Amino acid sequence: MKLRSKLIISFAAIILVPLALLFLFVSVYMNVKVHSLEREYEIELSLPDMINTAQMINESTAKLLDRMRNDTQADPDRLLDRGYLQDIDHELGGRLSFLVVTLDGEVYYAGNRDNLGELMEALPPQGAGNVDTELGGVYISGDNPAMVKQLDVTLTDGSAASAYIITTVTGVLPEIKTMVRQLTLVMLLILLITASVLTLWIHKGITSPIRDLRIATRRIADGDLDFTLETKRSDEFGDLTSDFEKMRTRLAQAEEEKRRYNDQSKELISNISHDLKTPLTTIKGYVEGIMDGVADTPEKMDHYVKTIYSKANEMDRLVNELSLYSRIDSNRMPYHFTLLNVKGFFDDCAEEMDIELKERDVLFYYENQVMEETTIIADPEQLRRVISNIIGNSIKYMDKKPAIIRLNVEDEGDFIRVDIADNGPGIEGRDLERIFDRFYRTDESRNSAMGGSGIGLSIVRKIIEDHSGRIWATSRVGEGTVMHFEIRKYQEAEV
């Protein structure tokens, strides 16, 4: 899940979850509270009754007032029975109320005499009990607010008596206040728990991938790239971890390439050193022969000088090859692309190769099947280097007499294909795919003896690829090898 989605969900949850839990809690809590108050006050309540304190007070004492009304209708003098009054007052005590009875304006019975003087001054006068109100009683305000229900009775001797059921509001409100405090506390707890859970959820979703990335970063800083950073997450951190793993993989590949390059460079230096040492030793030996007077005839002197010249050329070729490899390796190969006529260019190359190969007793065959007007965009010097390197490589490993080289140029639709075949020893299948790799040698001992640096064919591949072409080889062991390369034809865009 995306981090943005998590934040949206968290924002919605931190609002909706507390409201839902609070609604659920309030529903359960109020039901329990209603049943508790119903049992305590022996009344039937609803949620609006709990909110309306006066209504709840009215219902809590209404039944007792009705009983007293029925009792005094049957026997008015019962209102003077203190035992009866005590029983009523005892029941009222459980309803946060008490009973006061007056006889001819004087207090006859009082269940609670605290602040009675102040209450007596505020009590309704005789006869007011017959007034019907919405609450079934009178509300007395002041320092000690109370709800008063009044019952006026005329005794058998004609005396006037009044019974007052007084419910102190201050006794009821704290219970409501306690309930409000409890609900407020529960709401705060729900908010705290919800926020904590959501915070931990987001915190875990953020810190866990960051911890893994930090560990991976430290390992990379210590040079350890041999590990895998995997993740099954689909959020931004999953994308970051995936990108980090790609970076680690590329660093590991670059490190491996660097190590391999260093090994190959060491091998190249060793090969070049060995290859230079052989002609140098020969040159040194022949020069010493000349200095010691061994070449005492014109024929010997001519032979010595030609040998020295040949070995110097061999050294020059090795140095040039190393210089060219350096430019290729740093992508600083100089190219001078131009429009070449395929037939004309390869005819010239074939003529040059024919002269050179005849001197080496190599049979050379050339065939060009492309149209006269076929052209390509290429660097003629570098393309000659490709042909020369391939043919030179074939002659170097030639093991047959007579040696045969064939150069064929064919039309392949949008491309021209050049095939250079020999009748040499061939190449094993396991080596065929790697012959264009830098420093690769199919036979170390034979290559070393023949002075091969192992970079000739890698230079060829680089040049062909820089011409947007491709090169490959086919071979049969004991029969020979064919090098193939393709270059796209030049075609003018139609207007």
Final residue belonging to a domain, choices 162, 194, 224: 224
Q: Is residue 431 part of a domain?
A: yes
Q: State the amino acid at position 101 in one-letter form.
A: V
DSSP of 43-104, one letter per residue? Answer: ----HHHHH-HHHHHHHHHHHHHHHHHHHHHH-GGGGG-HHHHHHHHHHHHTTTEEEEEEET
Domain-embedded: residue 230: no
Residue 304, classed as helix, strand or coil, is helix
How many structural domains are present in the chain? 3
Boundaries of domain holding 275: 236-327
- What integer is the mean pLDDT of 27-40? 71
Average pLDDT, the chain: 80
Helix (H, G, I), strand (E, B) or coil at 484: strand
Same domain, 246 and 212: no
* pLDDT tens readout for residues 50-78: 555 556 666 677 888 888 889 999 998 99
For the chain, percent of residues with pLDDT exceeding 70: 81
Asked whether the predicted pLDDT for residue 304 surpasses 60, the reply is yes
**Residues 301 and 416 occupy one common structural domain:** no
Q: Does the structure show a pLDDT above 80 at 207?
A: no
The reply to whether 318 and 367 lie within a common domain is no
Residue 319 has pLDDT above 60, yes or no: yes
Question: Considering 203, 224, 245, which residue would you say is the last residue of a domain?
Answer: 224
Which range has the worst mean pLDDT, 246-255, 300-309, 446-455? 446-455
- Regarding whether 435 and 310 lie in a shared domain, the answer is no
Q: Are residues 160 and 304 in the same domain?
A: no
Report yes or no on 231 lying in a domain.
no
* Same domain? 258 vs 383: no
* Residue 491 φ then ψ, to 5°: -135, 130
Shared domain for 78 and 208, answered yes or no, is yes
Spell out the residues 6+ positions from residue 268 whose beta carbon is closer than 8 angstroms to its own: 322, 325, 439, 453, 454, 455
In a domain, 59, yes or no: yes
The verdict on 483 and 454 lying in the same domain is yes
Which single residue is written with the structure tokens 């005849």?
A: 358
Place 203 in a pLDDT band, splitting at 50, 70 and 90: confident
Q: Give 386's pLDDT tier (boundaries 50, 70, 90).
A: very high
215 and 160 housed in the same domain: yes
Q: What pLDDT was estimated at residue 384?
A: 93
Any idea what the CATH number is for the domain that residue 430 is in? 3.30.565.10
Asked which of 309, 327, 345 is the last residue of a domain, the reply is: 327
